[in-house]
Amino acid sequence: MPTILALETSCDETAAAVVRDRTVLSNVVASQIDLHRRYGGVVPEMASRAHVENLGAVVEAALQEAGLGWSAIDGIAATCAPGLVGALMVGLTAGKTLAMLHHKPFLGIHHLEGHIYASYLSEPTLEPPFLCLLVSGGHTSLIHVKGCGDYVTLGKTRDDAAGEAFDKVARLMGLGYPGGPVIDRLAATGDPKAFPLPEGNISLPEGGFHPYDSSFSGLKTAVLRLVESLEAKGVDPLPLEDLAASFQAAVVRSLTKRALTCAIDHGLTTIAVGGGVAANRGLRQQLTEAAAAHGIRVLFPPMKYCTDNAAMIAAAAADHFQQGHQSSFDLGARSRMMLGDVMTLYSMQDAGDRATVR
């Protein structure tokens, strides 16, 4: 059972964690939400500087919380793609430096693979194949998980990601940043049928709609037009609870229908949900109930593993380590990288080579 120290700096969370196999020994996150809130979103240069300022203390705290010294660490991992390049470079450079300094193998980890592995942290016996519904601020995908490093993307958003749509709709409703939590809270007391909103179907050239791909830009525009219409009619205050509930219901309906259709079509009996939107209470309830009617189980990570964290990165790294995978110290940060290209991050090392590196 390898013990991995992992760093995560792909966006606006500075995180470090120690994981042994699939058991979390420590998980430390320094959030930058307050730093970016006044700008209504993440400012890349500010995020990078904050990572530089926070990372040393976060790593030290992760080791202290785990109660381990460097001799107990088998490998060091860091998120290398995708994400904000400047932010990624901070964690990636620190991870490689620590690996060199302490003579440990280094592993670069794909951020989306980390979100897949978040479900392993709460369900250590989870094994492929299964379907992952990955819903975050930058990504909305349906991924057939066949094994460690073996992924096939079956569906994706054609424009805005679900989390991005939450943030943009919250902004136009005057709710601030980040939008997901406040919309979820307001929706709990609103009427989801108050305002009919479009689901966002993707038309196919031969007719009909794509069964797995989604779109949220039209939904965002529909909410904008609705708010403008209500304001033009002199509605004050706006029915924020009903607006939030109607918007959230449209997103959840779209995600639930596509995830279930995809799982059923491919004979998959487990759906693991990852990413920040996995924390949404409406999605948790509706997808779980709808899937149960088809004999499909749904796994949601604990809230602390839904948003960006290093524990999920370490869990992915531990699996790759056990497979004999190792990254070169020449590995660079990449703002974009297809999940299907994960294995290009590694070379194979046999047990003797890993022992030598240590």
Whether residue 129 has pLDDT greater than 60: yes
Return the CATH number of 3-117+307-357, one of 3.30.420.40, 3.40.605.10, 3.40.190.80, 3.40.710.10.
Answer: 3.30.420.40
- State how far the Cα of 254 lies from the Cα of 272, in Å rounded to an integer: 17
Whether residue 252 has pLDDT greater than 60: yes
Angle formed at CA 284 by CA 226 and CA 151, multiple of 5 degrees: 100
- State how far the Cα of 88 lies from the Cα of 216, in Å rounded to an integer: 27
The pLDDT-based confidence of 354 (bands split at 50, 70, 90) is very low
pLDDT, tens digit, 9 for 90 and up, residues 33-92: 888 988 888 998 999 999 999 999 999 999 999 999 999 999 999 999 999 999 999 999
- State how far the Cα of 99 lies from the Cα of 23, in Å rounded to an integer: 21
Among 11, 23, 27, which Cα is nearest to 305's? Answer: 27
Fold of 128-304: Nucleotidyltransferase; domain 5 (3.30.420)
- pTM passes above 0.85: yes
User: Beta strands 140-147 and 150-156: pairing type?
Assistant: antiparallel
pLDDT at 349: 67
Give CATH 3.30.420.40 domain extents, the chain.
Answer: 3-117+307-357, 128-304
- State how far the Cα of 111 lies from the Cα of 7, in Å rounded to an integer: 11
If you average pLDDT over residues 279-307, what whole number do you get? 96
- Sorted by sequence, the CB contacts under 8 Å of residue 62 that are 6+ apart come out as 5, 16, 17, 18, 26, 27, 28, 310
- The dihedral over CA atoms of 122, 275, 303, 145, expressed in degrees to the nearest 10, equals -10
